[in-house]
C-alpha cells in the first residue's frame, strides 16, 4: 500500500475511534470507566501516531520506480524510466572508454526491457550506483602497476590468478607487459553481460625456420651458422567478438607483412675423419626411454622409444653411410645408416630428414630432426641397432 493512502486510512480510524470514546464517556457515569476509556484512547492514539511517523524503510514501504530487466529478471531499480536509460547510457559509455580498440557494436546478451511499478523503496538506487552495478566496476585497489622485470606469469603466481584470466580482463593481445603498465588483477562479473564487437589491429611474429645444409669441407660433428635466424612480422586486422568479457570469435580481415622471416642456416660437416668406431652414442641428447626393447603388448618392439620434443636434433650413433633416407611404412620419415662393420642403425618418426642417401657421415652428425610421423602416438624418436640385419637391444651397446 502506498504511504499516502496508509496515512489517510489511519487518520480516519483515529477520528472514528475518538468519536466513539467521547460518546461512551458521556453515556457512562462511572468515573473509573471514564478513566479507563481515556487511558485506552491515549495509548491507542500514541501507537497509531508512531505507525504514521515510522520511516518507510521500517514499514517495508513501496514506491514507484523503473527496473532494468534482462530476460525478465530485475537487475537494478531506479526512480523512473528516464533515470534507468541514463544509467544504461553511462554503463555503455564506460565500456567504450575502457576499450582502446575501435568498437563496432555493443548489445546486451539477452532481451533488455524496462518495467515500471511499485518496488521495495530500499531497492531504488541512484543513476551512478546503478551504472556501477551493471558494469561490475572494480575498486581502485584492483588496479596494479607493473614493476621492473615482472611478467604476467609472475603476477599470476603473486595474485593467484591464471595468466589466461589476466589476459582476458585486461584485453591483452599477447602475454607481454612492461614496467609501468596498469593491470587489473580483479574484475567482478557485470550484472548486465554484453556482446562487444570491436576491430583490433595488432602485430604477430612469424617464426624463422632452421635449415641444415651439408658441407663436405667441415668434419663430421662440426657445425657453422652461416645465416642467423630472424623473426618476421605481420600486421593483422581482425574483428573480435566478446561475450561477457571472454573472446567468443576472431575473424581476420586482413594481413599485411611488415617483414619476412629470415631462416637460420646451419652448415653440418660431412668430411669423414674415421670409419665406424664400433661403439655407439646416444642419438639424442635429451629425453627418457618411453618404451624399451622387447615384448610390448604381445608384439616385439624392435628398438627403443626416446621421448623428445618435435624438432630435436638426431645424431648418427656411429660413423657410416646413409643407405636409406625417406618414408617407410609405419616408421614414417626414416634414416638408416650402414656402419660397414656388420652393424646398422635406424632412426624413425622424424619430422625432417637432413641426411641424403649414399652420404658418408661421421659419428655425431645431425641426420634428422625428431618428430611424430608414421604410426606414432606422440613426438619421440624410435631407435634401432641391427647386427647382421637382426635387431638387438640398443641398451646393450650404448648408454641410453
The overall average pLDDT reported for the chain is 84
Average pLDDT on 260-281 reads 84
Question: Is 347 in a helix, a strand, or coil?
Answer: strand
Separation of alpha carbons 388 and 390, rounded Å: 6
Q: Are 190 and 244 in contact (CB under 8 A)?
A: yes
- pLDDT by residue (tens digit) across 77-93? 999 999 999 999 998 88
Each residue's pLDDT tens digit, 351-370: 999 999 999 898 999 999 99
Instruction: Confirm or reject CATH 2.70.70.10 for domain 274-396, answering yes or no.
Output: yes
Across the range 67-83, mean pLDDT stands at: 93
The burial of 96, by beta-carbon neighbours within 10 Å (0-12 exposed, 13-18 middle, 19 or more buried), is given as exposed
- State the pLDDT at residue 41: 55
In angstroms, the CA 311 to CA 198 distance is 38
Please answer whether residues 106 and 95 qualify as being in contact, where contact means their C-beta atoms are separated by less than 8 angstroms.
yes
pLDDT digits (tens, 9 = 90+) for 183-233: 877 666 677 888 889 898 999 999 999 999 999 888 777 899 999 999 999
- How far is Cα of residue 221 from the mean position of the Cα atoms in its chain? 44
Q: Yes or no: say if 316 and 365 are a contact pair by the CB < 8 Å rule.
A: yes
**Would you state the pLDDT for residue 167?**
81
DSSP-derived 3-state class of residue 358: coil
Mean pLDDT across 227-251: 90
Query: How far apart (Å, rounded) are the C-alpha atoms in residues 84 and 130?
Result: 8
Q: Is the pLDDT of residue 307 over 90?
A: yes
Residue 33 has what pLDDT?
47
| 236 neighbors 201 (Cβ within 8 angstroms) | yes
Least confident of 297-311, 323-337, 344-358: 297-311
In the block, cell 630472424 appears at: 230
Q: How do 264-271 and 210-219 pair as beta strands?
A: parallel
Sequence-ordered list of residues with C-beta below 8 angstroms from that of 371, at least 6 positions apart, any chain: 310, 311, 332, 333, 349, 350, 351, 352, 379
What is this structure's pTM? 0.41
Q: Give tens-digit pLDDT for 7-49.
A: 566 666 666 666 556 555 555 544 444 445 566 556 555 544 5
pLDDT of residue 58: 43
Cβ within 8 Å of residue 34, ≥6 positions away:
25, 28
Residue with the larger pLDDT of the pair 10 and 279: 279
Dig out the grid coordinates for 71 from the structure. Answer: 530476460
What pLDDT score does 276 carry? Answer: 76
Average pLDDT over residues 2-9: 57
Mean pLDDT, residues 155-172 taken together: 81
Residue with cell 591483452: 172
Provide the pLDDT confidence category of residue 392 given band limits of 50, 70 and 90: very high
pLDDT band, very low/low/confident/very high, at 397 (cuts 50, 70, 90):
very high
- Closest-CA residue to 354 (of 170, 257, 214): 214
Cβ 101 vs Cβ 172: under 8 Å: no
Pick from 279, 330, 294, 312: which is nearest to 381 by CA? 312
Per-residue pLDDT band at 297 (split at 50, 70, 90): confident
Amino acid at each position: 500500500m502506498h504511504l499516502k493512502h496508509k496515512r489517510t486510512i489511519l487518520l480516519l480510524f483515529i477520528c472514528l475511534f475518538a468519536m466513539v470514546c467521547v460518546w461512551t464517556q458521556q453515556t457512562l457515569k462511572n468515573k473509573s470507566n471514564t478513566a479507563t476509556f481515556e487511558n485506552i484512547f491515549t495509548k491507542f492514539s500514541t501507537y497509531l501516531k508512531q505507525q504514521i511517523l515510522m520511516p518507510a524503510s521500517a514499514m517495508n514501504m513501496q514506491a514507484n520506480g523503473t527496473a532494468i530487466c534482462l530476460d525478465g529478471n530485475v537487475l537494478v531499480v531506479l526512480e523512473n524510466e528516464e533515470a534507468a536509460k541514463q544509467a544504461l547510457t553511462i554503463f555503455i559509455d564506460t565500456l567504450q572508454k575502457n576499450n582502446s580498440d575501435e568498437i563496432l557494436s555493443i548489445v546486451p546478451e539477452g532481451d533488455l526491457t524496462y518495467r515500471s511499478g511499485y518496488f521495495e523503496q530500499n531497492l531504488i538506487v541512484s543513476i551512478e550506483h546503478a551504472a556501477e552495478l551493471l558494469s561490475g566496476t572494480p575498486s581502485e585497489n584492483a588496479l596494479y602497476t607493473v614493476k621492473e622485470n615482472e611478467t604476467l606469469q609472475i603476477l599470476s603466481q603473486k595474485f593467484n590468478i591464471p595468466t589466461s584470466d589476466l589476459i582476458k580482463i585486461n584485453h591483452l593481445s599477447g602475454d607481454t607487459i612492461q614496467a609501468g603498465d596498469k593491470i587489473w588483477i580483479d574484475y567482478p562479473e557485470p550484472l548486465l553481460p554484453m556482446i562487444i564487437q570491436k576491430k583490433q589491429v595488432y602485430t604477430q611474429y612469424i617464426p624463422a625456420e632452421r635449415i641444415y645444409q651439408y658441407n663436405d669441407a667441415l668434419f663430421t660433428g662440426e657445425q657453422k651458422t652461416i645465416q642467423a635466424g630472424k623473426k618476421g612480422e605481420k600486421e593483422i586486422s581482425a574483428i573480435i567478438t566478446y561475450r561477457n568479457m571472454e573472446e567468443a570469435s576472431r575473424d581476420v580481415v586482413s594481413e599485411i607483412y611488415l617483414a619476412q622471416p629470415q631462416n637460420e642456416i646451419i652448415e653440418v660437416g660431412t668430411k669423414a675423419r674415421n670409419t665406424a668406431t664400433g661403439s655407439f652414442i646416444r642419438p639424442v641428447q635429451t629425453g627418457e626411454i618411453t618404451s624399451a626393447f622387447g615384448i610390448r603388448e604381445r608384439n616385439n618392439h624392435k628398438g627403443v622409444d626416446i621421448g623428445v620434443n618435435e624438432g630435436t636434433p638426431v645424431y648418427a650413433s656411429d660413423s657410416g653411410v646413409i643407405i636409406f633416407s625417406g618414408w617407410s611404412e609405419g616408421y614414417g620419415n626414416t634414416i638408416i645408416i650402414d656402419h660397414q662393420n656388420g652393424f646398422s642403425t635406424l632412426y624413425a618418426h622424424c619430422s625432417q630428414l637432413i641426411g641424403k642417401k649414399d652420404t658418408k657421415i661421421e659419428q655425431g652428425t645431425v641426420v634428422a630432426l625428431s618428430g611424430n610421423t608414421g604410426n606414432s602416438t606422440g613426438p619421440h624418436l624410435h631407435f634401432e641397432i641391427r647386427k647382421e640385419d637382426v635387431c638387438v637391444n640398443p641398451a646393450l651397446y650404448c648408454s641410453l
